[in-house]
Amino acid sequence: MELYKENIATPGFSISRSLKNVILIELLMPVTLLILGIYHGLMQTIYRSGAIHEPSVAHLDYYQGLTLHGVINAIVLTTFFAVAFGHATISFYLKREPNKKLAWLSMILMVAGTLMASYTILAGKASVLYTFYPPLKAAPGFYIGLALLIVGSWIPLFNWSAMYMRWRKENPDTKTPLAVLATLVNFILWFTCTLAVAYEVLVLLLPWSLNLTHDVNVTLARTLFWFFGHALVYFWLLPAYIMYYTILPKVAGGKLYSDLAGRIAFFILLILSVPVGVHHQFSDPSISQNNKFFSSVITFGVAVPSFITAFTIAASLEYAGKQRGSKGLFGWMKRLPYLDHNNYLFAYLIVGLIIFIFGGLTGIVNASYQLNSVVHNTAWLPGHFHMTVAGPVFLAIIGMSLYLVSKLYGKKIFMPKVNVIVPYVWMIGLFMFSTGLMWGGLIGEPRRTNMGMTYTNPDSSLYHAQWIPTTLLTLIGGIMMTVSAVLYFIVFFGTIFSKRTAVPVLEFPVSEAYHDERRIPFFESFKPWLIIMVILILIAYVPTIIEVLNNTGPGAPAFTPNNPMPAN
Ligand code: HAS
**Which among 557, 530, 423, 429 is positioned nearest to 188, based on CA atoms?**
530
- 204 pLDDT above the threshold of 50: yes
User: Cis peptide before 135, with omega less than 30 degrees from 0?
Assistant: yes
Which pLDDT does position 566 carry in this prediction?
Answer: 86
Which pLDDT does position 6 carry in this prediction?
Answer: 34
- At a CB cut-off of 8 Å and minimum separation 6, what does 318 contact? 332
Over residues 3-61, the pLDDT tens digits come to 333 334 456 678 899 999 999 999 999 999 999 999 999 999 999 999 999 999 999 99
What's the CA gap between 310 and 251, in Å, rounded? 17
Query: Ligand 1 centre and the CA of 504: distance in Å?
Result: 37
- At a CB cut-off of 8 Å and minimum separation 6, what does 159 contact? 98, 99, 102, 103, 106
Single-letter code of the amino acid located at 159:
N
Mean predicted lDDT score pLDDT of the chain: 94
**Residue nearest ligand 1's atom 10 by CA:** 385
Q: Which of 280, 384, 403, 508 is catalytic?
A: 384
- Please state, for a pLDDT cut of 70, what percent of the chain lies above it: 98
Query: Ligand 1 centre and the CA of 394: distance in Å?
Result: 13
DSSP symbol at 276: G
Which pLDDT does position 2 carry in this prediction?
Answer: 34
Q: Which of 73, 77, 130, 279 to mutate to test the pocket of ligand 1 (most atoms within 8 A of CB)?
A: 279
Query: Ligand 1 centre and the CA of 352: distance in Å?
Result: 12
Whether 447 is catalytic: yes
Ligand 1 atom, smallest distance to 313 CA: 58
CA dihedral sign, ordered 31, 37, 39, 42: negative
Alpha carbon 368 to chain centroid distance? 22
**Residue nearest ligand 1's atom 7 by CA:** 385
Q: Which of 40, 48, 324, 447 is catalytic?
A: 447
Which pLDDT does position 11 carry in this prediction?
Answer: 61
* 3-state class (DSSP) for residue 325: coil
What's the CA gap between 258 and 451, in Å, rounded? 48
* 3-state class (DSSP) for residue 255: coil
Single-letter code of the amino acid located at 290:
N
Query: Ligand 1 centre and the CA of 358: distance in Å?
Result: 8
**Residue nearest ligand 1's atom 1 by CA:** 363
Which pLDDT does position 322 carry in this prediction?
Answer: 96
Query: Ligand 1 centre and the CA of 454: distance in Å?
Result: 31
Which pLDDT does position 568 carry in this prediction?
Answer: 67
More confident: 2 or 335? 335
More confident: 561 or 547? 547
**Residue nearest ligand 1's atom 21 by CA:** 363
* 3-state class (DSSP) for residue 464: coil
Which pLDDT does position 562 carry in this prediction?
Answer: 78
- Please state, for a pLDDT cut of 90, what percent of the chain lies above it: 88
Over residues 377-389, the pLDDT tens digits come to 999 999 999 999 9
Q: Which residues pair with 216 in a beta bridge?
A: 556
Query: Ligand 1 centre and the CA of 18: distance in Å?
Result: 37
What's the CA gap between 176 and 164, in Å, rounded? 9
Ligand 1 atom, smallest distance to 364 CA: 23
pLDDT class for 223, splitting at 50, 70, 90? very high
Q: Which residues pair with 513 in a beta bridge?
A: 256
Query: Across 3-12, 327-336, 553-562, which has the greatest mean pLDDT?
Result: 327-336
Burial 319-336 (b: 16+ CB within 10 A, else e): bbbebbebeeeeebeebb
Q: Which of 234, 235, 348, 358 is catalytic?
A: 234
Question: Cα dist. 362→98, 350, 383, 467 in Å?
Answer: 39, 19, 9, 21
Over residues 484-496, the pLDDT tens digits come to 999 999 999 999 9
What's the CA gap between 331 and 326, in Å, rounded? 5
Length of the chain: 568
**Residue nearest ligand 1's atom 38 by CA:** 280
Query: Ligand 1 centre and the CA of 361: distance in Å?
Result: 7
Which pLDDT does position 565 carry in this prediction?
Answer: 85
Q: Is residue 20 a contact partner of residue 404, using CB atoms and an 8 Å limit?
A: no
Which pLDDT does position 12 carry in this prediction?
Answer: 67
DSSP symbol at 177: P
Ligand 1: lining residues by beta carbon, under 6 Å: 131, 233, 236-237, 279-280, 299, 302-303, 306-307, 309-310, 313-314, 317, 333, 353-354, 356-357, 360, 363-364, 366-367, 372, 376, 381, 384-385, 388-389, 393
Q: Is residue 149 a contact partner of residue 118, using CB atoms and an 8 Å limit?
A: no
Q: Which of 306, 338, 365, 424 to mutate to test the pocket of ligand 1 (most atoms within 8 A of CB)?
A: 306
Whether 386 is catalytic: yes
Which pLDDT does position 561 carry in this prediction?
Answer: 80
Query: Ligand 1 centre and the CA of 364: distance in Å?
Result: 7
Q: Which of 87, 230, 335, 464 is catalytic?
A: 230
More confident: 283 or 397? 397
Ligand 1 atom, smallest distance to 336 CA: 64
User: What are the start-end ranges of the H helices in 443-500?
Assistant: 467-496
What's the CA gap between 247 and 324, in Å, rounded? 17
CA R_g for the chain: 23
**Which among 189, 178, 183 is positioned nearest to 229, based on CA atoms?**
189
* 3-state class (DSSP) for residue 119: helix
Whether 341 is catalytic: no
User: What are the two backbone dihedrals, phi and then psi, of residue 216, each rounded to the nearest 5 degrees?
Assistant: -140, 145
Over residues 404-449, the pLDDT tens digits come to 999 999 999 999 999 999 999 999 999 999 999 999 999 999 999 9
Q: Which of 92, 344, 385, 541 is catalytic?
A: 385
pLDDT class for 118, splitting at 50, 70, 90? very high
